[in-house]
A and B are shown apart, each in its own frame.
Chain A
């Protein structure tokens, strides 16, 4: 039963539908009252108004195009149109357009809420590069939102099927992707995956696909899902991964025990070399910390762990630890760890990259070196000799205790605290001998030399010095061991014997020479006398006898002359024949004499000093005669000085070929008139041969004579009551 016109009218006003009758050009014929929401006029003012004047511009074309397709054969059409209203804003209506007798009957419902949501979703999907899709397994319908098309660079009008959708995946992943969907339909479990696609324009993109089933009566009736373009994120992650891999590759490549400890994950990455050292499987990148800990020597674990925790909590980024680890041969070796710690915002160490170094050999070497050093020290401290170990430049590396004491006392330098050259802490008269021997030792020769020094008590000390080069493993000299053995007693005994022997020999030679000469000188005239007497006794003709008597007289005179000579025979002539000239160190010579009279000067409380010459001049001289001469002068200086000073000095610089030795006193002085007298040779006449080696009291004249014999001179300056200055001038060895 059809509606009556009245019934229909009521229905038209009561419905939620917006009802309009339009001409094909959009002219509104009539509408229900609800349509007043759409237009800025009343329903009864509708005449002559066109719908196209009130819908948004984008919909005008849609409306016109849709209307044009309507015909008797194609009479019904669905379209959404949005109205820009004054009161309600934009209202979106979905219309059912029916064409009948050249009129269009339009019935629309308000879909504004859905429309808004839809627009927002579209905007969101655009912004997040996300698309939505659904799939109906029953009728195989596949729907893609615009976002899906955008991601695939595809025209949104392209009809979509499941096969078409799958075609964007590369062949090898396509099967997997299809399986995901099939499994979802079968097992009703949601899924998500990230895969690579190639878009319609041929671009490679990474997409993340999420799918969720909608179940009705325990059957999947359709599938909802989203597709998101995650290319940027994927590339970023890949890049990170790549960097990480590069780093690990780099770590693997370095031939050293490198590790990367991710503390939060409790994973340690080890380089190949690291694994080789410890015998870890090479194909395993990460080893849990506990496993590693088990490899540490049981005795070291506790301390190592303690250090480890301290390290993690301390300031800065450095990490240092050491322990023994079991290597692949099952032996424990010493290792050191040097690392760099990375911290998070709270200052907790999250990661550590470091180097594990096998220091076993180093440890052993350290031990060996320490042992060798002890051994060396034992050798050095052997108690017999003074021993000093020098580097090749002459710096003191090590000394025995006794030498150290002497060096400290004499030079006020402590070689254990200050870097010192041996030559700087030794007595002046050692230096020449040292420099020469040291250089010889540097050439690889072992040198043995005897040296004499004056010790702090003023006594002469003889040392046998030995210089032994010390070679390293490559037969290079790396140090010189110098030792001094005290041979004073032996030397003094030797010297005493030698001197006694020489003295005896000299005296004996002298005696026999004198005897021989006198015998000759007596026998010669005696020969004449006896022969003449023989001739006279044996009938010599008378005429020759007078002559013979004259000869007799002459021979008698000569004999007498010889006897006179004998009484005048002087010691000096004998000395000449008995001199031994040798090259000597003047500093040493003078210092020896100086020391000899020290006690005498000290007893008189005199200021008694010596100033040696740093050039260490040498002279060629008879030691004994020179000492006699010098000793006389020093002895006299002290003897005639009751207070003040006696100063001895050596000067080799003022004259090119001679050396001055000055003995200056503040004694009574000598009157100029007596200058000659003190050197009067007559004084010498009274001195007998036997006094040659007696040191004192022989008089200055002898000193003068001796020095002259040695090729030198003595000069004198003096003022009565002020003092005297003797200058001994001796030739210099150049």
Chain B
């Protein structure tokens, strides 16, 4: 399973990679929006995880989502928000923007991994 993780914080990106690698997935890290947009053209992805705050003066996760939604190749590819914005109302805000799922930081891996495995299950059934 190919997963793209867009995250500017290197530590968070690294530890996510280690965590997901345990689930038989291949994780590609993009540090910012423009890198992410290149990756989605090259790789055949199954899931995209996007941090919202991608650094000062950078395209944020919300804008990146909009860009993704315009690409045909990403049709039916789930995009999850993985963010430290976790004030009341934030989850609803991001879901409303169009993210398929919202995960606040610190990430609850039990939940994330179970969602990933359910996606994998669906794929196996269909393929």
List residues of A whose CB falls within 8 A of some B CB: 512, 515-516, 519-532, 534-535, 538, 540, 544, 548, 551, 554-555
Instruction: Taking A522-B84, A526-B105, A531-B109 as given, write out 5 further A-B residue pairs in contact, using a Cβ cutoff of 8 Å, ordered by the A residue number.
Output: A516-B87, A520-B83, A531-B12, A538-B22, A555-B11
Also in contact, A540 and B18, with CB within 8 A (given A524-B9, A528-B9): yes
Known contacts A523-B104, A523-B106, A534-B109, A528 near B15 by CB under 8 Å: yes
A-B contact count (CB 8 A): 63
Contacting pair B18 A527 (CB below 8 A): no
The answer to whether B87 touches A531 (Cβ under 8 A) is no
Min CB gap A166→B, angstroms: 136
Is the Cβ of A515 less than 8 Å from the Cβ of B87?
Answer: yes
Partner of B11, one of A515, A516, A519, A551: A551
Q: List 22 A-B contacts (CB under 8 A).
A: A515-B87, A516-B85, A519-B87, A520-B53, A520-B83, A520-B84, A520-B85, A521-B84, A522-B84, A523-B104, A523-B105, A524-B105, A526-B105, A527-B105, A527-B106, A527-B107, A530-B107, A531-B15, A531-B106, A532-B15, A544-B18, A548-B15
Nearest B residue to A516 via CB reads B87
Q: Which residues of A are found within 8 Å of B105, using beta-carbon distances?
A: 523-524, 526-527
Closest residue of A by beta carbon distance from B105: A527
Which of chain B's residues 7-34 have a Cβ closer than 8 Å to chain A?
9, 11-12, 14-16, 18-19, 22
Assembled-state Cα–Cα distance A597/B89 (Å): 46
Q: Return the chain A residue nearest B90 by Cβ.
A: A516
- The reply to whether B12 and A534 form a contact with Cβ atoms under 8 Å apart is no
B86 within 8 A of A: yes
A523 to B14, CA, bound (A): 16
In angstroms, Cα B107 to Cα A516, docked, is 17
- Across-interface contacts of B14 in A (CB, < 8 A): 551
A512 close to B87 (CB less than 8 A): yes
In the complex, residue of chain A having the shortest beta-carbon distance to the beta carbon of B13: A528
Q: A535 and B15: CB pair below 8 A?
A: yes
* B18: A residues at CB distance < 8 A: 535, 540, 544, 548
- B87/A535 in contact, CB under 8 A: no
A531 near B84: Cβ-Cβ < 8 Å: no
Nearest CB of A to B98, in Å: 21
> Is A527 touching B12 in the complex (CB atoms < 8 A)?
yes
The answer for the CA separation of A535 and B20 in the assembled complex, in Å, is: 11
Contacts of A528 on B, CB cut-off 8 Å? 9, 11-12, 15
Contact indicator B16/A531 (Cβ below 8 Å): yes
Contact of B84 among A519, A535, A544, A555 (CB under 8 A): A519
Closest A residue to B15 using CB positions: A531
Q: Are A527 and B84 in contact (CB under 8 A)?
A: yes
Considering only residues 60-98 of chain B, those with a C-beta below 8 Å from chain A are 83-87
The answer to whether A531 and B53 touch (CB under 8 A), given A516-B85, A519-B86, A524-B12, is no
Contacts of A512 in B (CB 8 A): 87
- Do the beta carbons of B19 and A524 come within 8 Å of each other? no
User: Which residue on B lies nearest to A526, using beta carbons?
Assistant: B106
Per-residue CB proximity of B48-68 to A under 8 Å, as 1/0? Answer: 000001000000000000000
Does B19 lie within 8 Å of A534, measured CB to CB? yes
Report Cα–Cα, A555/B53, bound state, in Å: 17
Q: In the complex, what distance in Å separates the CA atom of A538 from the CA atom of B9? A: 23
Complex-state Cα separation, A519 to B18, whole angstroms: 25
Which B residues are in CB contact (< 8 Å) with A522? 84
A532 cross-chain contacts in B, Cβ below 8 A: 15
How many angstroms between the C-alpha atoms of A27 and B42 in the bound complex? Answer: 186
Contacts of B109 in A (CB 8 A): 531, 534
- Are A554 and B106 within 8 A (Cβ)? no
**CB neighbours of A521 from chain B (8 A):** 84
A253, B86: Cα distance in complex, Å = 104
Cβ distance B86 to chain A, nearest Cβ, rounded Å: 6
- B11 engages A523 (CB within 8 Å): no
A523–B85 CA distance with the chains assembled, in angstroms = 8
Kindly state the separation between the CA atoms of A506 and B9 in the bound complex, as whole angstroms: 31
CB-CB under 8 A from A548, the residues of chain B are 15, 18
Give 10 nearest A-B pairs by CB, closest first: A523-B84, A527-B105, A530-B106, A531-B15, A527-B106, A528-B11, A520-B84, A524-B84, A551-B11, A523-B105
Looking at the assembled complex, report how far the CB atom of A512 sits from the nearest CB atom of chain B, in whole angstroms.
7
B102 CB, min distance to chain A CBs, angstroms:
13
Q: Measured between alpha carbons, how far is A473 from B44 in the docked complex, in Å? A: 83
A525 to B12, CA, bound (A): 8
| A554–B53 alpha-carbon span in the complex (Å) | 19
From residue A527, how far is it (CB to closest CB) to chain B in Å? 4
A523 and B87 contact, Cβ closer than 8 Å, known pairs A531-B16, A534-B109, A551-B11? no
B113 to chain A, nearest CB (A): 11
- A residues within 8 A CB of B106? 523, 526-527, 529-531
Task: With both chains docked as a complex, state the minimum distance between the C-beta of A597 and any C-beta of chain B, in angstroms.
Answer: 43
Contact indicator A535/B11 (Cβ below 8 Å):
no
Residues of A within 8 A of B11 (CB): 525, 528, 551, 554-555
Q: How far, in angstroms, from A521 to B84 measured CA to CA in the complex? A: 7
Tell me the minimal C-beta distance from B16 to chain A in angstroms.
7
Bound-complex Cα distance A532 to B87 (A): 24
A535–B22 CA distance with the chains assembled, in angstroms: 10
Residue with the highest number of chain A CB atoms closer than 10 Å, among B12, B22, B105, B107: B105
**CA A555 to CA B12, docked complex, whole Å:** 9
**What separation, in Å, do the CA atoms of A555 and B105 have in the docked complex?**
13
Q: Are A531 and B19 in contact (CB under 8 A)?
A: yes
Determine how close the nearest CB of chain A comes to the CB of B95; give it in whole angstroms. 18
For chain B residues 105-124, which have a beta carbon within 8 Å of chain A? 105-107, 109
Note all chain A residues with C-beta closer than 8 A to B84: 519-524, 527
User: Nearest Cβ in chain B — how far from A157, in angstroms?
Assistant: 147
A555: B residues at CB distance < 8 A: 11
In the complex, A512→B85 CA distance in Å?
Answer: 12
